[in-house]
Structure 1
Amino acid sequence: MPFINIYLHVIWSTKNRSKIITRELKPLLIEHIKSNAFLKGIFIDRINCVMDHIHLIISLGSDQTIGKVVQLLKGESSFWINKNKLVKGKFEWQDDYIAVSISKSILDKVRKYVDNQEEHHRIKSYIEEVEEFRKKYGFEDLL
C-alpha cells in the first residue's frame, strides 16, 4: 500500500467571477462538495468560499490527478446547483484553476487562510489575491 502525504491548495472562481454564491447557497454548496468528494474518495482537508470563488485544501490519493479531482468537484457541483435551481440562470465555474503544493511546515497557516476567507476578502479582492499568487508562484497568464 502506498503512503502519500501531498497537500494542495486549490482555488477556482465562478464563471466571469460572478458574485453568485450567496449566503444561503454557501453552506449547501460546501456540504454538497464535501459529500460528493467523500463518495469519490477525494480527501478534503479544508473548504471555504466567498461570493465569486472557492478555496480547498485537498490531499491526493495514489491514483488521483489534480486535473481529474478538480474536474469531478467542479463539474458535479455545478450540475447539482443547476439541477436543483439554486441560482437564477445557469451556474458555471471558470475553466481555469490554481493548484499549489503545501509544505507540511505551513499547512496550519494555509488552513487558517482558507478558514478566514470572508475576513480576508473584506480587504482584498479575488483579482488582487490572484495577482499575489501569480507573482509568488510565477504564473504568467493567470488573469
Structure 2
Amino acid sequence: MAYTNLRVHLIWSTKDRKPLIADEFQEDLYAYIGGILRKRKHVLLAAGGIADHIHLLVGMHPTQTIADCVRDLKSNSSVWVHEHFPKLKMFQWQTKYGAFSVSESSVDSVMAYIANQKEHHKKLTFQEEFLAILRKHGIQFDPRYVFE
C-alpha cells in the first residue's frame, strides 16, 4: 500500500486564448471535470478561471500520471462542450499546460487563489499570470514557445 498526498495545481487555456468558457456553463464544466477525476480516483479540490483559461487543484491518485490525467481531462471536457453547446464547435484547449506541485501547507492559499480568478484577472492577463507562475516555481522557459 502506498501513502501519498499528491496535490497538483493544473493550468491551461483555450486554444489561442479565445474567451469561450462562458459564465453560463463554467460551473457545469467544472462539475464535469470533477466527475472525470473521480472516475480515475483523483479528487477535484478547487476549480476556477475565466473565459480563456482554467485552474484546477487536484488531489492525484498515484496510479495515473499527470500527463495522462490532463490528456483525459482535456479530451473528455472538449467533447462535453461540443455535445452540450453546439455553437462552440470551435472550442479546443491549448496543447500545453502547467502542472505545479502544492504542499499541504499551501493548499488553502492555492484554493483561495483559484477562487479569486475573476478579480485577479482585472489586473493581469492569462499570459502574464502564467509566466509569473513559471518564474515562481523556478521553471526555465523560452517565452517564444510557452503559448503555442
What range is the shorter-chain TM-score in? over 0.9
Q: How far off is 1:62 after superposition?
A: 2.1
SS at match of 1:7: strand
RMSD: 1.4
> What code does the residue aligned with 1:125 have?
T
Q: Which residue of 2 aligns with 1:91?
A: 91
Aligned partners of 1:18, 1:12: CA distance in 2, in Å?
Answer: 12
Q: Which residue of 1 aligns with 2:131?
A: 131
Q: Which residue of 1 aligns with 2:141?
A: 140
Given that residues 48 and 55 in structure 1 are in contact (C-alpha distance below 8 angstroms), is that contact kept between their aligned partners in structure 2?
A: yes
Q: Which residue of 1 aligns with 2:54?
A: 54
Q: How far off is 1:86 after superposition?
A: 4.8
Tell me the TM-score normalized by structure 1: 0.92
Say how many residue pairs are matched: 143
Aligned partners of 1:88, 1:73: CA distance in 2, in Å?
Answer: 18
Tell which deviates more after alignment, 39-48 or 85-94.
85-94
Tell me the TM-score normalized by structure 2: 0.89
Identical counterparts, % of pairs: 33
Aligned partners of 2:117, 2:88: CA distance in 1, in Å?
Answer: 24
Unaligned runs of 5+ residues in structure 1 are none
> What code does the residue aligned with 2:20 have?
I
Residues 57-136 of structure 1 aligned to structure 2 (within 5 Å): 57-136=57-136
**Deviation above 6 Å: which 4+ runs of structure 1?**
none
